[in-house]
Structure 1
Amino acid sequence: MSDKHPILPAAAPAATEFGFHLQARDGAARTGEIRMPRGIIRTPAFMPVGTAATVKGMYPDQVRALGADVVLGNTYHLMLRPGAERIAGLGGLHRFMNWPHPILTDSGGFQVMSLANLRKLTEEGVAFRSHIDGSKHMLSPERSVEIQNLLGSDIVMQLDECVSLPCEDAVAEKAMRLSLRWAQRCKDAFGHHPGRALFGIVQGGAVPHLRVESARELAAMDLKGYAVGGLAVGEPQEIMLAMIETVEPHLPVEKPRYLMGVGTPDDIVEAVRRGIDMFDCVMPTRAGRHGQIFTRFGRMNLKNAKHADDPRPVDEGSSCPAANGWSRAYLHHLVKAEEMLGKMLLTWINLAYYQELMAGLRAAISEGRLEDFVAQTKEGWARGDIPAAP
């Protein structure tokens, strides 16, 4: 991971095209831009999760001001409420949620497997009952693509079967092969949209040869991008990283790589070192709603009584107003009182830190100093918070 490979920026494409342009490498890590009609996604990129057409606790302009170039929407939740056809009738998801920038939508498959009631998986797709009202639905590869098209997604994900880890090799293989067949059906259903993209999803559990086969078969489909799915589902970090290292050599260099549902700041840093370009996770928003924050000093729990009389901000060196504008004592009070403002401010702090981390990674890769940046970042986490004055 020590070789430096500077790459000259390519000329910007026509506004109607989707393209990925590498700008620099540092070892396996890459920095670049995904360009499409609604804007540029700077990579490595973290996508805040807007499950139900909202990043919980945040205004869209706040999310954008933090440095987010793209947000994630959830096909499963949006198809159930308010409905894809309704959103399409109201002008599409971008207008509906007042986010004119790129949106990636997941396929809904993971949520069907984890949330839906009485689900039945067949070659055709997944029949299930809504966890909201018990209504019956069928999510096939074609329907998943149709829903994402109705939403107006810029990056569409294939429908796949995601298994929990650990699992038997035979279970992982069956899900991987079904996901490959569904990928082809998604590609056929998606058709040709120059300004938008369909991404495939590599599956195969924790079995290296299955992961390699999945990556090679998907690469042969010549999709616009590739995700690594079925990780961060309970397995240790070392297994996740081993699977990334197994898959990475078999993914096209010129296509973006997306690690789905990941993760902690350390997970992201280590995955970037191994060549991943895109991430999403509910962790920063969910943790913020439960009193937890991520900072350059590591993770903090604002519920702890030690913060009750601390007049210092979370991080006076942060550019985030929530991190430098209110005392820890006040944030602790809001958390303990379960005030809505506390959830909002802590979410703001977390998303700001994640975007600051991504900006730091991009700069370090561009300047050929990634390993130094990683070492300094991890040293800060390990050192922990600066003690209050006696």
Structure 2
Amino acid sequence: MKRAPVKRLIVAAGGGGDAVAAAMLHTALYAADDEPALILTYSWDRLIIDPVPGPRAPSDFTGLHHLAPHVRAVPVTATPKPPHAATLPRLAAELPHTFALIDPYAGATGITRQLDELTAHFTPQTIDLLDVGGDILAHGDEPTLRSPLADALTLAACTRANATADVRLLVAGPGLDGELPAATLRPRLGSLITTFTPEHTQAIASVLAWHPSEATALLAATALGARGLCEVRDAGLPVPLTAEGPTVHQVDLPGAFAANRLAQAIVDTTTLDEAEERCRTVCGTSEIDYERTKAQRLSEQKQAPAAPHDLLAQIKDFEQAALTRGATHTTVRRLTEALGLTGEALQHLAQLNATRASRLPASVWQLPRR
């Protein structure tokens, strides 16, 4: 038996940041509907939030709800089982949309099955596959590519889905994820669909006060007028903040799949391990391998909490060094990791940043002018 129709299905291509951006996209494109979207997304948070490498499976939670035989929703009452952690339950609490969990442990084949079940049950009028940054358009051999697996899995699944002809591939914020530069992406983009405005960012303003996503925070920041150079991630990758930042482009889905060697290699996979092994073959590594190495390194470090006056001094030293590198902004996540702080400090710094004279999201740290 079919359930009540859902007008908008948005597939968040990568991690939790794409799910947050999906809420902003819904506001920009479908606000007149006055109906929440169904957002299909991974629960895959950075190690500063979730200490366990890789994406979360349904078995890592209690309190999930069945939407379809192989699809579970993550309500506000869902709880990740220790030692796992997840931002999705809090997203469900603060945003009106329904969040359904992508389960990549059955490979691209399993995600395709999830899509087919959702479209059969809910008959959405539109299906958008959304990626912030644009690494879903990677070919697989770009030297700056760092996290291709999640996006390639959803791209492959959407290409195989029964409703593939109805799937619209959208790329928001070209280059804002610090992977493929905007100049590399430009020839791969299609028509401009919309440009986010300050009004659109209000839909996710409360979320960006605590959510660790950098790319989506920069998407909102550029919509609010931020311009300059932002350091992101633990490596301090420089990301230009330009007028191109808040744009959303449509891309030909079959063409993107035909150009993405990793998506082609994993399209028939039935386990995440199999997809990860093919990712190593095509790209030389897997982002889960990187997370495993980093998690091991973090587990061996013992960081004493800094006294408030010491922390302020460390922040000032970091700011001055970043300014000499030409940066105008950084992210709270970058600042937290650069100072060797914990996930608890991430929230403290975001709260501290919220008190500063800035109209930007609390997770984007504007450096003092030189």
Answer 1 or 2: higher relative contact order, Cα 8 Å, separation at least 6. Answer: 2
TM-score by length of 2: 0.31
